[in-house]
Amino acid sequence: MKLKRETVYGYMFILPWLIGFLILVLYPMIQSFYYSLNNMRITPTGLRFIYVGFNNYRDVWLQDMFFITELFSFSVDTLIRIPVIVVFALVIAMLLNQDVKMKGLFRTIFFLPVIVASGPVINQLVEQGATAIPMLNQDIIMNILTSFLPMWFAEVVGNLFNQIITILWYSGVQILLFLASLQKIDPNLYEAAKIDGGSNWECFWKITLPTIKPIILINLVYTLISLANSGQNPIIDLIYANMFNATRGYGFASAMAWMYAVIIGLMLLIIFLIFKEKKPARG
């Protein structure tokens, strides 16, 4: 009886979230997929839907040259930014996990931008150039990068330096997750490793890294989704612009959004496959 009562309480707690998911997520997704199969026209009597099947999906790849260009740029930029953000978050979390004075204050400082700066605030800072490094330093960095990297790759890495403040801004949640995981590691494991002659580097590779591997996966997924939904993502702007395009409209924009979602899903699948726990072979 007690177990049944707890089950009912559990469903009551998740009911608001479930209702919100059905109304605010699932229904709009189904509606957008329906839009993507139609051309929508505004008539004096209201919206008119012209069924075109998967033609909008075909046109996204064959008739919109900007989508492929922006998608390639986003993919390359994401492949570089995700490791930088996750590694930076891990390093900061390990430093904050040390026994130092006012570590609570430092933890607050690193997480505060996540609370204070919303999407519009970050967009405004980017537009004003507040997150960029000075122009003189940009030229120096680009000259160094182009001396040993191809131009296209040097531009991507240079752009990464130019967005370094924004990258730091996106690291707050990852730092918090890493820190929580590091604090769960039993200190006796490190002491036993030290007694056996293990170095700090060996302790990291054989104790710390295997323990926080699930959190690394979570942070990779979280970072990818954050970047995919970021206000600085040009693909989001492209989808928005096509929504109000007189010749394309909601149907074409919905198809583009679905194709983009599928690509993000494939990226997430690759991450899961890379970090999938390998089951030991049976002898």
- Give the span between the Cα atoms of 202 and 194, in whole angstroms: 10
Task: Specify the pLDDT at position 283.
Answer: 47
Q: 76 with 156: CB under 8 angstroms?
A: yes
- Give the span between the Cα atoms of 61 and 67, in whole angstroms: 7
Task: Specify the pLDDT at position 137.
Answer: 58
Handedness of CA 180, 183, 184, 185 (dihedral sign): positive
- Give the span between the Cα atoms of 271 and 266, in whole angstroms: 9
CA 16 to chain centre: 26
Residue 117 phi, psi (nearest 5): -90, 110
Ranges of residues in the chain whose predicted pLDDT is under 50: 136, 283
Residues 6+ apart with CB under 8 A from 80: 156, 157, 160
Task: Specify the pLDDT at position 162.
Answer: 65
Task: Specify the pLDDT at position 264.
Answer: 93
- Top-tier CATH class for 60-274: mainly alpha
For β-strands 38-43 and 46-51, DSSP reports them as antiparallel
Radius of gyration of the chain (CA): 24
Domain boundaries, the chain: 2-51, 60-274
Burial string for 88-110 (b: 16+ CB within 10 Å, else e) reads bbbebbbebbeeeeeeeeebeeb
Task: Specify the pLDDT at position 112.
Answer: 65
What pTM was estimated for this model as a whole? 0.78
Q: Which amino acid, residue 272?
A: F
Task: Specify the pLDDT at position 30.
Answer: 93
CA nearest to 168, candidates 252, 110, 120: 110
Task: Specify the pLDDT at position 52.
Answer: 87
- Give the span between the Cα atoms of 167 and 159, in whole angstroms: 11
